[in-house]
Structure formats: structure tokens, C-alpha cells
Amino acid sequence: MDLSFLPLNILQAIRNLENINEIRLRVGFPIKCKIRDKFFYLSNNGLALIRDSVICCKKEDINYILAKLTHNSLYAFNDFLRQGFLTWDNGIRIGIAGICVFDHGENLTIKDCSSLVIRIARNIENCSDVIFRHLRNNVKNSLIISPPACGKTTLLKDLAQKLDRLGAYQILIIDERGEFLSVNGENIDKICYSNKLFGLTLGVRSLSPGLIITDELINENDWKCVQNCVNCGLKIIASCHASSITEVKNKDFFINNLFERYFVLKKDGQPGVLDCVYDKSFNKL
Amino acid sequence: MNLYIGFLGIIIFTLLGKLFSGKNEDKRAFFIDFINFNLKLKNEILFTHKTIDEISLSLNNGDFKNALQKYLDSGEVVKLKYLDKNEFSLFENYLFNLGNADIKTQMNFLNSIEKELGEYHQKAIQDEKKYRSLYLKVGFLVGLIFFILVI
């Protein structure tokens, strides 16, 4: 995994660590690593449970990482930065917290970054087996539901590869954050770093997809975009943040009868471990 | 024998004079590259969003390109002998502000420094004109004195 954007001391400290899911850096505080759903401090000798000899994050570390991530050109990546994330070349997503600069209600940029959350996505082969079995013979409009960091994107990536091999659909992936960069296939088209409205409009008009895969329906616009696609006769597989089917139904912008299957993932589990499957009437299957 | 040494002295001192005048030539070339980079960056920021790393690769080889790449790679600002305190301070400040802001702020910075850069460039041209022949003449004269003393 290429983490060469990290400062040398941090890079050396993590060089022997495996299965890192997440690295959290906050200015003035110890650096934390998440491995198999548990947080550890990062020390010069690897991981530590207590705060002795831990590596503290300095402002210079954050600046160094941002300079590397943006190839010394923040202006070229400002569209991502103002949305609060940057993506490294191989699909690693870096969430950013800092001071937002607004002008006439529009966020121009984030300055004085104080925290970074480095999410290291992995390709876990066959993690979507269970869901794939539900969709293999007849792909249904499906929503994958779980809280953040439970493996929705990993699962969608694996599912896309499996559906590609199936060959029954021309698949269009709308990849807002460059997290599907490693997903390729003979039946897969990708529109990267675009919002859902633009990506779906462009894709539906010009790429004639049969199936659309997209991550994280966050707001009303996202749900409406999906509704438009379904009304165009397309199949769609998407994901959404929630910990239960009730939470999804309670969302202000939830649209009933849009999805035919709801897959709720287990919390704190491996990606793709199903808790429940519901049909369009919310009956457990 | 002394005659040969005398002639050799004239040649060496004249060359030394040329060497000193070369500093001004280097300074002028540095500021030309600096101004060109600033212009290029302004265009690329607005139209292609190219990164500074990419733009720096397309620069002419020279002290400016080397110093810029050194800074981008390691964060170290190279001290160039021919830059005086103010000139170096301008260059250092420029590097520190390079690429760490959004498009609007970056453009404002690049525009604000343009005039100052032009002034330094003009000064470098004048210095080159003024001192180039002076250093050569002084070098030749010292060589001539050496020649007279030797023979």
C-alpha cells in the first residue's frame, strides 16, 4: 500500500504494521491507528496502548501531507478540499478538518487543517458473496445500509467486479471520491470525481448503462437522482449511512418503493457480513 | 620568461574580471526564469489546473529550476550567491506561498509579486550593463599592472 505521502518518521513507524484500516492525525495529539476495529497509539516501535513514547502529530506533519497529496498545488485540488477530502493516487481517501472559508454561503476552501483521517481502503475478494447470491439471477435495485466505516465501499467494489464477470449488464460506476479507481472490468465504465447529478446525467445520456453502482446517498438530491435513474428503467445499487432499516425510513429524504432490496450490514464486522435483508415492503427475507 | 608570465597574468586577471561580471548575468537569467515561471503558473492555474510539480518540469534548465525543484522535493531553500538579502527574501517568501492556497488567493499573490519581480529584473539588467565592462576593464588593468611589475 503506497503511503509515501506520510512524513518519514510516521512512515517508518507503520512500516511493519499490517491491516491498518485508518490513521488519525490531530495537531498536538498522539497519532492513532485503527487495526481490526481497535485504536492504538503509534509509537516509534510500532503500536502502543499507553501514551508513553507515542508519536505526536505536529502542524508541520499535516502541512507536509497536504503538500504531498496535492503535489505542492493546493489550488489544483481545491474542489476536493472544500468538500473535505483528498484522494491519493491508489484510492486512499483522506478526510480533512479545519477552518472553512465561506463566501456568499459557498465554502471556498478549508484552511488551517487540524485533523486528517486517512482511510485505507482494501480490496477484500469475495466479501460480497452473500449479496451477490441474492442478485446473481436477477439484479434488483438495492440499497446497502451500514454506519460509516463498516465496509460498504469495499463491498460495492467487490460486488462490481463480480457483476462485471457475470456479463449480464453494462455497469456504470459513479465514483464521487475516487474510491473505485482500482475497480476495472470489460463491462465497467467509471465516471470519477463527479457529483451524482452530473455523473448520472452524463452517464445515462451517453454511456447506455444497464446497471449503476454508486456510493453513499447523502442528501435529497442524491435520492432524487437515483429516483430519476430508476424511472429511466435502469437498475441501481447504492449505499447509505444508517445502522438499521428504521433509520433509513426515518430519513427526511427517504423515497419509498425506490429500492427492492435493503441489505443491512453488521456493525463491527468484516465487510459484507449481513445482518438482515429486507424486501421493498420491509419484510425480512 | 617574465614576458610569458606577464601575459599569462593579463589573461588570468581579465578572466577573473569576466567571472565576476558573470554573476550579474546569472542574476538576470534567474529573474527572467522567475518571471516566466510566474506567468506560466498564472496561466496554468486559471486554465489547466496543472500542478506546480508538472509546471516545474517544463521550465528551462537553470538556477531557478534547480532551486524550485530542490524546494519542492525537500522544503529547502537554496541560497544563491548572487542574490542580495532583499532578493533572497522575495524568492524565499515566494516559495513559501507557492501552492498552499485556493485559486483566488494564489492568483492574488502571483499578481501582487509581479511588479516587484519586474523591478528586480530591471535592476539586474542595469547592473549587468554597468558592471560587466567595469569588471572586465578592472581585470585587464590589474593584469596590466601585474605585467609591468613582472617585466
Q: Residue A34: in which H helix or E strand, if any?
A: strand A32-35
The yes-or-no verdict on residue B134 having pLDDT over 90 is no
pLDDT of residue B35: 94
Chain B: residue nearest A60 by CA?
B75
Name the nearest CA neighbour of B64 among B107, B93, B40, B34: B34
Hey, is the C-beta of B74 within 8 angstroms of any chain A C-beta? no
Return d(Cα A218, Cα A148) in angstroms, integer.
Answer: 12
Of B20 and B112, the structure prediction assigns the larger pLDDT to B112
The yes-or-no verdict on residue A136 having pLDDT over 90 is no
C-alpha separations of B63 from A184, A186, A212, B78, B127 in Å: 44, 48, 52, 9, 19
- Residue B124 has, within 13 A of its CA and on its CB side, a CA count of 25
Hey, is the C-beta of A83 within 8 angstroms of any chain B C-beta? no
Name the band, by pLDDT with cuts 50, 70 and 90, for residue A21. confident
Q: Which residues of A117-154 are buried (b: 16+ CB within 10 A; e: fewer)?
A: bbbbbbeeeebbeebbebbeeebebbbbbbeebbbbbb
Q: Which residues on chain B are in Cβ contact (under 8 Å) with A78? A: 102-103
The SS3 assignment for A66 reads: helix
Return d(Cα B24, Cα A2) in angstroms, integer.
Answer: 45
Q: Which residues on chain B are in Cβ contact (under 8 Å) with A81? A: 102
Query: What confidence tens digit (pLDDT) does each residue in B75-102 have?
Result: 889 998 889 899 999 999 999 999 888 8
Of A161 and A285, the structure prediction assigns the larger pLDDT to A161
Q: Are B99 and A73 a contacting pair at CB < 8 A?
A: yes
For residues A208 and A170, the answer to whether their CB atoms sit within 8 Å is yes
The yes-or-no verdict on residue A121 having pLDDT over 80 is no
Instruction: Kindly report the nearest CA distance between residue A243 and chain B, in angstroms.
Output: 37
Name the band, by pLDDT with cuts 50, 70 and 90, for residue A269. low
Instruction: Kindly report the nearest CA distance between residue B68 and chain A, in angstroms.
Output: 11
What secondary structure does DSSP assign to B41-76, as a single string?
Answer: HHHHHHHT---HHHHHHTSPSSHHHHHHHHHHHH-P
What secondary structure does DSSP assign to A129-147, as a single string?
Answer: HHHHHHHSSS---EEEEE-
Report how many helices (DSSP H) and strands (DSSP E) chain A contains, helices first. Answer: 8, 14
Q: Are B53 and A67 a contacting pair at CB < 8 A?
A: no
Cα distance between the two ends of chain A = 38
Name the nearest CA neighbour of A139 among A213, A241, A29: A213
Report the residue from B54, B75, B102 with minimal CB separation from A75: B102
Name the band, by pLDDT with cuts 50, 70 and 90, for residue A51. confident
pLDDT of residue A105: 83
Q: What would the mean pLDDT of B140-150 be, rounded to a whole number?
A: 81
C-alpha separations of B35 from A112, A126, B58, B111, B118 in Å: 29, 56, 14, 11, 7
pLDDT of residue A137: 87
Q: What would the mean pLDDT of A119-138 be, rounded to a whole number?
A: 85
Return d(Cα A134, Cα A138) in angstroms, integer.
Answer: 8
pLDDT of residue B107: 92
The yes-or-no verdict on residue A52 having pLDDT over 80 is no
Instruction: Kindly report the nearest CA distance between residue A63 and chain B, in angstroms.
Output: 9
The yes-or-no verdict on residue A82 having pLDDT over 90 is no
Instruction: Kindly report the nearest CA distance between residue A78 and chain B, in angstroms.
Output: 6
Return d(Cα B120, Cα B84) in angstroms, integer.
Answer: 11
A residues 5..64 contacting B (CB < 8 A):
63-64
Name the nearest CA neighbour of A133 among A238, A283, A272: A272
The SS3 assignment for A273 reads: coil
Q: What would the mean pLDDT of B125-143 be, rounded to a whole number?
A: 80
If 0-12 CB within 10 Å is exposed, 13-18 middle and 19+ buried, where does residue A208 land? exposed
Of A152 and B147, the structure prediction assigns the larger pLDDT to A152
Q: Which residues on chain B are in Cβ contact (under 8 Å) with A101? A: 102
Strands A32-35, A38-43: parallel, antiparallel or unpaired by DSSP?
Answer: antiparallel
Q: What would the mean pLDDT of B5-27 be, rounded to a whole number?
A: 79
**A36 phi and psi, to 5 degrees?**
45, 50
pLDDT of residue A139: 92
Cα distance between the two ends of chain B = 9
pLDDT of residue A268: 66
Please identify which residue in the block is written with the cell numbers 485505507: A120
Task: Output the nine-digit C-alpha cell for A228.
Answer: 430519476
Name the band, by pLDDT with cuts 50, 70 and 90, for residue B36. very high
Q: Are A75 and B103 a contacting pair at CB < 8 A?
A: yes
